[in-house]
Copies of this chain bind each other. A is one copy, B any other.
Amino acid sequence: MSCNTFGRLFRFTTFGESHGPAIGCVVDGCPPRIPLTETDIQPWLDRRRPGQSKFTTQRQEPDQVRILSGVFEGMTTGHPIALMIENVDQRSKDYGEIKDRFRPGHADLTYWLKYGIRDYRGGGRASARETALRVAAGAIARKVLGETVTIRGALVQMGPWTIDRAQWDWSAVDDNPFFCPDRQAAQAWEGHLMEVRKRGSSVGAVIEVVAEGVPPGLGEPVYGKLDAELASAMMGINAVKAVEIGAGFAAAALSGEENADSFRMDTGADGQRRVVFGSNNAGGILGGISTGQPIVVRFAVKPTSSILAPVPAVDLHGNEVEVSTRGRHDPCVGIRAVPVGEAMMACVLADQMLRRRAQTPDVPDSPILPRP
C-alpha cells in the first residue's frame, strides 16, 4: 500500500514532489465553524521556510499557501480543507548529475529498489519540502486545540554542543537562527556552525517539543497510546533517528524511587483542588494517556547527508562512484525540524482530542480533577 495520510479523525493527506508544479495537502475531519484564513497558516510556514539565515539553504521558496476548499466566509465548514503551495524556485538542472547515482544517507537507493522508478529532482517525494505541509496542517491543528494549549519547540543540542538547561528561556528561541532557548549557547553555535559549513560538513541536532495545557485523557490503550503516536509522528520526520518522552533513555538508569512522579493535591489559581505531580519523568503521559502535565518529547536529527566531502557510492548500473554535493543545503537540517516537530505534536493532539470525545465525552467530574 502507500501511506500519505496522517491521523485518524483529524487527518491530512499530502502530495507533491520537490520539483513538480506544486505540493499540497488535504486536511479532513476538522470541526466546523472555526475561523480560518491563509493568514492563520502562513506565519508558521514562514518560520520553517529556507533562505532566512546563512545557516539554512539559500533556496528561495516563498511557500505561499492557498486554501482551495473547506472554508466558507472565513469559517471552516467541516469539509476537507485543501492547501496548495506552488513550487517556484526549482532549478532542475542542479540535479542532473545525481540522476543515475544513489546518494548515501538519502532515500535514492531505497526508492529505486522499492519502486523501480525515481523522481531524482531534489529528492522528489523524499524531499524535506514535504514537511512544509505538515507545518500547514499543524497550523490548523492548533486552531482545533484552541488557545489553552501551547506548543513550543527548541533546539537543545546542535552537533556535539548542548545547551545549559538552567539557562532555558523560551523568549530566546525566536531571537536566534537556531530556535535555541539558551542565549549564550546560541551565540557560540554561530561560530561552530559557520566552521562546519566552511568545512563542507554538517551536524545533527536534538529538538525538544513541549505541549502545555493539554487536558488529561488523551491517548488510547493499547495501540493508540499518546506516546506511541508521538513516537511515530516524530520518527516519521525526515532524518529523525530517535525519539524519547520525558526522562527517555535516562529513565533506564534510574531507580524506581527516583523515577516515580509522586502525586499530591494542590489548590490552583482558580481555587480548585486538583492533583499535582512532584516531577515529570513521565513526560506527561501514563499508560499511554495524558496526565495533564506538560507533554515533553525529544528527537534526534542526523547530520545533513548532502555534504561537500566525497562519499563512496554506486550508480544504478552498478558502478562505484563518489558523491559530493555542491548544491544549496543546510549544514544542520535539524534547525528547520523545530517547527515541523511542533506541527506534528499539534496534529497528534488534535487527532486524539477528537478521538477522546467520540468515546468518552461525558466522563463525570472527579474530586481529584475538576473538568474545565
Contact = CB atoms under 8 A, between A and B. Distances in A.
A126 interface: yes
A356 interface: yes
B251 A302 contact: yes
Interface stretch (A56-64, A111-119, A171-179): A111-119
Contact of A105 (B29, B79, B259): B259
Given A114-B78, A243-B243, A3 B221 contact: yes
A231 interface: yes
Contacts of A369: 113
A261 interface: yes
Given A106-B286, A235-B243, A249-B242, A70 B309 contact: no
Interface string A147-191: 000000000010110000000000000000000000000000000
A287 B157 CA distance: 23
Interface in A232-261: 232-236, 240-249, 251-261
26 contacts: A1-B358, A3-B28, A3-B221, A4-B80, A4-B223, A33-B115, A33-B117, A79-B119, A104-B263, A105-B259, A107-B221, A107-B288, A108-B287, A112-B368, A114-B356, A125-B221, A232-B235, A241-B245, A241-B246, A241-B249, A242-B243, A242-B249, A247-B302, A252-B302, A263-B312, A281-B302
B106 A354 contact: no
Contact of A366 (B15, B28, B116, B290): B116
Interface in A302-324: 302-307, 309, 311-314, 316-320
A220 B251 contact: no
A10 B339 CA distance: 32
Nearest to A218: B114
A252 B2 contact: no
A250 to B, nearest CB: 8
Ranked 4 nearest A-B pairs via Cβ: A107-B287, A3-B224, A242-B244, A202-B256
Which bucket holds chain A's interface residue count? 35 or more
A300 B118 contact: no
A242 B251 contact: yes
Nearest to A216: B113
A32 interface: yes
Contact of A318 (B234, B247, B273): B273
A104 to B, nearest CB: 5
Contact of A252 (B251, B252, B334): B334
A96 interface: no
Interface string A1-31: 1111110110001111100111110101111
A286 B240 CA distance: 11
Contacts of A105: 256, 259-261, 282, 286
Interface in A343-372: 354-361, 363-364, 366-369
A222 interface: yes
